[in-house]
Structure 1
Amino acid sequence: MTDQERVQAISSVSTDTIPPEFIRPETEQPGLTTFEDRAGEVPVVDFSNPDEKTLVGFIADASSRWGLFQVVNHKIPSEVITKLQQVGREFFELPQEEKRVYAKPAGSKSVEGYGTKLAKEMEGKKGWVDHLFHKIWPPSAINYQFWPKNPPSYREANKDYAKHLHGVVSKLLRTLSLGLGLEGDELKKAVGGEDLVYNLKINYYPPCPRPDLALGVPAHTDMSALTILVPNDVQGLQAFQDGQWYDVKYIPNALIIHIGDQIEIVSNGKYKAVLHRSTVNKDKTRMSWPVFLEPPPDLVVGPHPKPLSEENPPKYKTKKFSDYVYCKLNKIPQ
């Protein structure tokens, strides 16, 4: 991919129009399809609530209805999140030739690296976004080829964030497991246990002259088990609920939790993978830092056997996670 095809480069020369491949069909244009009523507020969970039963009920309900919720009082220090955001922003502000060093290799089957295109898009449409992907946990899965050396504190900031995430991940998976009527550790085991892979993506959405016509990332569900997302303060994430697209309101220092496809599968559909998309801003750069918590590639994932019965038969196929990913990225029916 040439540097001219990077969205950041297109944004720097665009004035009042955008190339036609970024214009979404009318059924997807945010200017026509965003629901402005504030009635559909995304649930906000206080993670410091000492009453586990109440916490389990709240998270299970949010995961069943929305597939999305925000977590406050999660014990990750605000300075750790600020540092993660700072080094990510500084990387995207580097000259193009420095970013190019981390480009996704041609023909690579991995998502890791600096790039623009990810999954196949129908009708040749493109998202208004550049990204950097790399794994941050476990250490055996990390390929430092894709970790920027500049800014100099990039690696330290990402390692620190990964370290602080473990507590949030364990508590989320325990709570969701209890909400299914399972033992506290059973859901985590079903999606990979200690081999769960933390795959970080930095999304960079530069200013767009026609935010009413374009999308940063089109509507999708995440193929992960869970996604834990840190946004910047520029509005952009939208969730689909009751036939409408709602803005997910920015809350300083909150973590946005997405239920992904694998948790929907393991829960046999009790928890819903959230359909979501990203909008863009005319004047400001939006950024986000999702960490996709993914089963190891060879792990076989299917509905957990314990809640299954004649009244609740399996609704999903059981398959290796790597096969699931291949089908999803190539738009092959699962």
Structure 2
Amino acid sequence: MLDVTRHLGHRKIDKISVDVFETKEAVRSSSNMNIANGIMKILTEAAKNASWNRSVETFQEELKGSKRQQTRKSEPDSRESARKNETASSQKSYVGSCTSDDIAQSLKLDINIEMHLEDVDMAYTDGLEEGALSRRCLRWLGTNPDFLGWYRAETSGTILIQENRELSHVSAVSSLMSLLYAQFEKDKTVLVLPFFCGLHSGRHFQGSEEIEAPVVLARALLAQLLRLREFDWTKVMLGQAELPPQLKEMNKLQSGNFGSYMKLIKNLIEALRTHFSAIFVLLDHIDEGFRPKHVKRLAKTLRKLTNPTEPSRSGGVVKVLFSAATHTEEISKDDDDDIVVLEVPDEIDGEDEVLEVSDLDR
């Protein structure tokens, strides 16, 4: 059985005190840990048997085969071939020796992982602050057939978890996302990109120097992608996602253009699909500081990665999880989309006492 302290141990969260005066807190911490370990066990087993759990080498071979076919098809048109070579040469010249660190510096992005891990830990602990109520909700979510169906499905997909907790910045859903991150933190074949909007609500007032919430989210996702130092980005992305971006796009990014950020993020994730068996994008409380138009733009862009009607490259699946503290109409289900909408009930039955892992397997 997985011990969640081993995965979410950056701040040694949920350490049970031996002090007699902290017994009540220790009992609550033990209950939280019991539920978390149970959910981690379920996530582990589900991922182990998931249809998307394929060898990354398979995607690399498929990509090579696809490139060979494209080369053969383009051979007759020498003028088109020359034009593409000229474009590629120009792009290479523009890229030069640019690294992910250079791009992050030009956009003033902080790619320090410590800040990111603090968010994951805080979302986990604060999401369970309501004790038994939070634990019952986490248990309900982690064992829900619709959630598990989305999680282990062999195809890409989107799920929206809607709550009725308007005044909550984080919740049991936040804790679930933290556990998903912890589940794959050491796995080199699965990429998890979380962001907790409730912890970074951004600008609330006109004229404030703070960045707007949607741009905060977009910059955080891009920073997580640029942190993947095992890739030679200039080779992986050349001709696919335009990294670094062309000068015109770079100017838009530097001015905080949300659409430009999302376009780049979408293209980078698409290009990375041949390097991971699964990519999870976990966005918590997207109605926190977001205008409806931004929620629509965010959902529309990311769902292009998961919609079966959209043409895409071969590679691993993309799983997008949105959560909203309230019911949102901005992420609607289209006729040609298989988005899963999961509504958390106001009342969840269950015991307030310590729960055993065996209870979660029933």
What TM-score, normalized by structure 2, do the two folds share? 0.30
Greater RCO (Cα-Cα under 8 Å, separation 6 or more): 2
What TM-score, normalized by structure 1, do the two folds share? 0.32
Greater Cα radius of gyration, structure 1 or 2: 2
Structure with the larger helix share = 2
